[in-house]
Amino acid sequence: MPSRLLPGRIHGFGRLTQTPLVLLATLVPMMARAQVVPPSPPTVPITATAPRALTLDEAVRIAESQSEAIKIARAGVDRAHGQQYQARSQFLPQINGSASYTRTLASQFSSVGGGPAVDTTKPPAPPAPCDQYLRDATATTGERLAGLEDASRCALGSNPFSSFGSLGFGAKNQYNLGLAFSQSLFAGGRIVAQNGVANAGRRSADIELTAQRAQLRLDVTQAYFDAALADRLVALAESSAVQTDNVLRQTQLARNVGNVSEFELLRAQVSSANQRPIVIQRQSDREVAYLRLKQMLNLPLDAPVQLTTVVDDSAATNAALASIGIPSDTAATDRATVRQAAEAIDAQRGLLKVAKAQRFPTLALTSQYGKVAFPLTGLPQSGSFRTNWTIGIASQVPLFTGGRIKGDQMVAEANVREAQARYDQLREFAALDSRVTINNLLQARAAWEASQGTAEQASRAYSIATVRYKEGISTQIELNDARILLEQAVANRALAARNLQVARVKLALLPDLPLQTTGTAQAQAQSQSQAATTPQTQTQTSQPAQAAQQQGQGAQQTGIPPQ
């Protein structure tokens, strides 16, 4: 039996080796196309809806409409606008209206006019008014005498102080309608200074809103390209896993017919097994990157999303690279944080003027206009109201405050010095941050330009290694080396594209971006100005950005040094 198979093995050696190797040669275009073919979206449950296509610009728009940081910054702008209204109102007259009703249950005037007990044996006195009993000349003498008697009895029996009831003494019902007017004439510059503080707070709030928008755009751009980079790394890892599995099956077939050694089979098995943990890690990193992006866009965490902006699109990246202009002027005073610190200085100087203004007298014009009525019963009639109208000038002069004004002034002067020192500190940080940002952009651009040739060379080297292995000139070790180097080159190019896009966006937004290392100092400086501000959001570095740098782990696990 073996003697009959031996000639077949000898004469069929070319066919048996060429058959699996011809199939292996078809993997070369697949690895080369991995540089430009969009990666497959994350796996979603079968019951889930169709993935939502999402571009970078659309992600930024969604984030701005859903961001809590933007909402807080807008609330700060509205609050600062309201503080402007509060300060500005002190220039204008203040007019207040009032209306009141008082019911007197008991009064000290109720005993006025009291006398001895009334004699019940005599008929009661006729009711007032008493002049109604007087008769004219046409009446008879008896009628005129009777009228005089009734008028006399009425006058003797009435309360002599009853007429004071209409003046409010002990009145049971009292109605009061009034207007109060006041106008500040002189306040020692306090009102002007308070308006300056409010205006500085409004400008600081506007800067904060712009800074939060810029920071959000940078964060969304970074999270978007982190997710896109994670897609590319998953595609590379899965493609490499498919290739190692195909090589393993072909090597197993060749081993069964005795064309390869046991070492070659073990080598293929180890390479295939080592690729599976890399795929699992890349898929996990992609899931985290997508969760981070969905959280920033306020989307449901289980909602499927498909990114349409490719991270390593050569045409788009080269176009963006050509549009990059490195600014020659990197003035630190243009940064949002530094501008806010300058507004904080203006606000503190205004508060110092307010503290000093307390030493000056204040002068105000006041006026009171009122209508009062004291009806005996029921509601007042139109003619029962009486007018009270006063006008005056009031002044207040601080004579002794126990050192309070001096203490307020000392605190304000210290706040001014602190705000100036913080401004100088932030300006130094801003100058350093601008230089670092430009350096990062130059580094990212150089890495992108260098990665283009490297990826092409690695693809060419893998093609040659495949042909050499097909012809039996090289071993599987050389083929695996070429595959790993190509995978690393493509991953490095994707990482370089991601870094270039993020660095480009950051440089474009640099004047409006807050400083990342001085959020606490900035918040303290802004709180001194009494202007409503929001804490700075720190840029969070996503794990997928570091994933490509770990791509060489596959080579290390197989015992082959990475490139």
**Which pTM does this prediction carry?**
0.69
Residue 241 has pLDDT above 90, yes or no: no
Bridge partners of residue 211, in order along the sequence? none
What does the DSSP 8-state code read for residue 182? E
Q: Note if the bond before 304 is cis, omega within 30 degrees.
A: no
Mean pLDDT of 142-168: 65
pLDDT band of residue 46 (cuts 50, 70, 90) is very low
Mean pLDDT of 506-532: 60
Residue 49 has pLDDT above 50, yes or no: yes
The confidence score (pLDDT) of residue 120 equals 54
Give pLDDT tens digits for 1-25.
333 333 333 333 333 333 333 333 4
Mean pLDDT of 130-156: 73
Residue 104 has pLDDT above 50, yes or no: yes
Share of the chain above pLDDT 70, in %: 74
Which domains can be identified in the chain, with CATH numbers?
12-37+63-94+188-311+328-352+403-554 (1.20.1600.10), 125-162 (no CATH)
The residue ranking higher by pLDDT, 544 or 86, is 86
Instruction: Say which residues have a Cβ less than 8 Å from residue 514's Cβ, sequence separation at least 6.
Output: 211, 215, 336, 337, 522, 536, 537
Give pLDDT tens digits for 451-472.
877 888 888 888 888 888 777 7
How far, rounded to the nearest angstrom, does the alpha carbon of residue 86 sit from its chain's CA centroid? 25
The confidence score (pLDDT) of residue 187 equals 92
The confidence score (pLDDT) of residue 29 equals 41
Return mean pLDDT, the chain. 77
Q: Among candidates 216, 208, 290, 210, which has minimal Cα distance to 506? A: 216
The confidence score (pLDDT) of residue 73 equals 94
The residue ranking higher by pLDDT, 79 or 128, is 79
The confidence score (pLDDT) of residue 155 equals 67
Residue 520 has pLDDT above 90, yes or no: no
Q: Among candidates 203, 221, 181, 4, which has minimal Cα distance to 98? A: 181
Instruction: Say which residues have a Cβ less than 8 Å from residue 423's Cβ, sequence separation at least 6.
Output: 338, 341, 342, 344, 345, 525
Q: Among candidates 462, 542, 552, which has minimal Cα distance to 226? A: 542
The residue ranking higher by pLDDT, 41 or 245, is 245
Between 100-114, 434-448, 470-484, 488-502, the lowest mean confidence (pLDDT) is in 100-114
Between 305-319, 321-335, 498-512, the lowest mean confidence (pLDDT) is in 321-335
pLDDT band of residue 193 (cuts 50, 70, 90) is very high
CB count, 10 Å around CB of 432?
A: 13
Share of the chain above pLDDT 90, in %: 36
Instruction: Say which residues have a Cβ less than 8 Å from residue 525's Cβ, sequence separation at least 6.
Output: 340, 341, 344, 418, 419, 422, 423, 426
Q: Among candidates 312, 321, 327, 329, which has minimal Cα distance to 504? A: 321
Give pLDDT tens digits for 389-438.
999 999 999 999 999 999 999 999 999 999 999 999 999 999 999 888 88
Residue 364 phi, psi dihedral angles, 5° rounding: -140, 145
Determine contact, residues 554/486, Cβ cutoff 8 Å.
Answer: no
Residue 324 has pLDDT above 80, yes or no: no
Bridge partners of residue 388, in order along the sequence? 370
The confidence score (pLDDT) of residue 287 equals 93
Residue 368 phi, psi dihedral angles, 5° rounding: -130, 130
